[in-house]
Amino acid sequence: MERNQSFSERVRSHRLATSFVLLGTLSAGVIGGSLLTGTVHGAMQQKSDTSDATPLRVPPIASQSNQFTQIAKQVGPAVVNINTESLPKQSTNPRGRRGAVPRRGQGGGDDGQGGGDQGDMQDFFNKFFGGGGGGQGDDDDDGGDGAGGERRALGSGFIVDPRGYIVTNNHVVDKADKIFVKLSTDSENDPGRPARVVGVDKDTDLAVIKIDSTTPLPTVKLGNSDGAQVGDWVLAIGSPFSLSQTVTAGIVSAKNRSVNDGGGSQFQKFIQTDAAINPGNSGGPLLDMTGAVIGVNTAIYTQSMGSVGVGFAMPSNTVISVYNMLISPDHKVVRGSIGISFQPGISSAVSRVYGFSKGGVLISTVTPGGPSAKAGLKPQDVITAIDGTPVKDGDDLVANVAPRHPGTTAKLTYLRDGKENSVTVTIGDRAQTVASVDGEDDDKPGAPAAPDVTQTRLGMSVTAVPSELATRLKIPGGVIVSNVKPGSFADDLPLGKGDIITEVNRKQITDENSFRAAITSLKSGDDVVFVVRPAQMRTSSSFLGGRLP
């Protein structure tokens, strides 16, 4: 807690010092002239008769409540402050995270073309907000303590379910080892409530996290972003520069805005606003005049590290669709694909030569073995309609295909050599087609790798003890710790690199399979006890235990 408090104070003092220095200087000048000289001269030394002066009184409160005031009061309690910690990625010290003493010295297209990659998106956020490397995103209120030390980032979010489900940006929580959420009712010195990630979608830069609460939490209401019009009043609420519950106002400046120079994803079509958005606002709500959320504040364009009136929010209709998929049992976003790529923004000359001046999509490449390839489509074919609905351009095609479920079918109308044809295509999983194009998982395109329970539950990696070492130590086998994730359960025990685990909860460990079998049966809240031969003290065993979070 002390570390969080000191960090908060450092951030606040750092952010506010430069902002208020001019006002402080002006005030000092006035005060210096009237108070700090110590003496007064001339006519001011004469005593004045003030018997005819009328004392000033504080007037009664005059109600000036307006729509902005009402919305701020209504929505504010559901807007949260999000702090994250990113710990060093390699454990170089065998001691635990909680100060435990070391044990005796031990150790664009429908499948992704035209939208840029995630690295480009990170450059986009770094450009707009000055975020550091490592994927921390745009809201780095960096409280890091040097190379290899902890990093902290700051963002916002809003509660959409009274059970504690919160929407924010992926770049706010990306690669965070610890996430803390502070409610508007929490005290200033409260470090926040621990949160866990439910699911993320990098293509839209959205994330869902959850906190636990014994009582229902206040929530926002979601609006229909299609109803927002250019010129409509909007409010933004968030924690810019660590100043929580900050409300700013502006208008909708534009809709369906792509940020092409940042390499953003083709699934990012923003609401543009001039409501002031600054580092720390990311993940917070953009509200219409009914108090409904019509967007998630995501980024700004700036060359000064602050708002210049060009902000971008992910529309609420996109947020709702992504949220519903992230809270599903798979906790991932599934998008349809027909396995083609196309060139966005082609010239009118190209469309005239290929005979689709009234709209269509010119296929650049067809993914080998993908849905379109199986249906017989070829490069230079022009898709003009899907299920009878005309396709104007690539964005129109993606908007039609992406929401479709893999395994369903669609009738494509296309032109080849000026002749109109039609074919039925089975929709594929976009993640699988992208993996196939990238050459990943050639045997099973798109199949997720089996999770390593040792890493996910304990925060460490292990390998089998070499037979020569087992013989020398006179043990039947075991596993040796090869890496420990800082801040993890294993690190807190503390386990260290080079330690040999011979038992887990009184079950003998002989190899990696027996170790994983013992770990797989554990669940949150279980007591876990390891029998360990420390890295630098092989002749005797230590007993390390804790409750699995």
Q: Which residues are the active-site residues?
A: 171, 205, 282
d(CA 137, CA 385): 38
Cα dihedral: 341, 344, 346, 352 (round 10): 60
CA 187, 190, 194: angle at the middle one, nearest 5? 130
Closest listed residue to residue 271, CA positions, set 316, 306, 304: 316
DSSP letter for 5, please. H
d(CA 401, CA 266): 13
Beta strands in 66-145 (DSSP E): 79-86
d(CA 401, CA 404): 6
Q: What are phi and psi of 440, to 5 degrees?
A: -95, 145
Helices and strands (DSSP H and E) totals, the chain? 13, 27
d(CA 409, CA 421): 17
Could you count the other beta carbons within 10 Å of the beta carbon of residue 66? 9
d(CA 234, CA 501): 58
DSSP reduced 3-state for 297: strand
**Cα dist from 201 to 108, 146, 207, 285, 351, whole Å:** 17, 30, 6, 18, 34
d(CA 310, CA 490): 45
**In a 10 Å sphere around its CB, with 0-12 CB exposed, 13-18 middle and 19+ buried, how is residue 42 labelled?**
exposed
Closest listed residue to residue 340, CA positions, set 14, 112, 508: 112
Q: What is the DSSP string of 158-219?
A: EEEETTTEEEEEHHHHTT-SEEEEE-TTS-TT---EEEEEEEEETTTTEEEEEE--SSPPP-
Closest listed residue to residue 126, CA positions, set 140, 146, 143: 140
Q: What is the DSSP string of 402-466?
A: TTSPTT-EEEEEEEETTEEEEEEEE-EEHHHHHHHHHT-SSSSTTPPPPP-HIIIIISEEEEEPP
Buried b or exposed e, range 109-123, using 16+ CB within 10 angstroms: bbbbbbbbeeeebbb
